[in-house]
Amino acid sequence: MEVDHVGIAVRSLSETTPKWEQLLGSPASLPEEVPSQRVRVAFLKVGSAHLELLEPTSPESSVSRFLESRGEGMHHIAFGVPSVNEKLADLIRRGERVIDREGRPGARGRVVGFAHPAAFAGVLVEFVEER
Binding site for Zn ion (CB under 5 A): 7, 52, 78, 126
Q: Taking the complex as a whole, how short is the minimal distance between the CB of residue 7 and Zn ion, in angstroms?
A: 4
Q: Taking the complex as a whole, how short is the minimal distance between the CB of residue 72 and Zn ion, in angstroms?
A: 16
Burial string for 36-71 (b: 16+ CB within 10 Å, else e) reads: ebbbbbbbbeeeebbbbbbbbbeeebbbbebbeeee
Q: Taking the complex as a whole, how short is the minimal distance between the CB of residue 85 and Zn ion, in angstroms?
A: 17
Q: Which one, 95 or 111, has the nearer CB to Zn ion?
A: 111
Q: Which one, 52 or 55, has the nearer CB to Zn ion?
A: 52
The answer to whether residues 111 and 131 touch, using CB atoms and an 8 Å cutoff, is no
Which residue's C-beta sits nearest to Zn ion?
7
Q: Taking the complex as a whole, how short is the minimal distance between the CB of residue 55 and Zn ion, in angstroms?
A: 13
Q: Which one, 34 or 91, has the nearer CB to Zn ion?
A: 34
Q: Which one, 56 or 95, has the nearer CB to Zn ion?
A: 56
The answer to whether residues 128 and 5 touch, using CB atoms and an 8 Å cutoff, is yes
| Residues 83, 92: Cα–Cα separation, whole Å | 14
* Of the candidates 123, 125, 52, 120, the residue with the CA atom closest to the CA atom of residue 84: 125
What is the 8-class DSSP label of residue 78? E
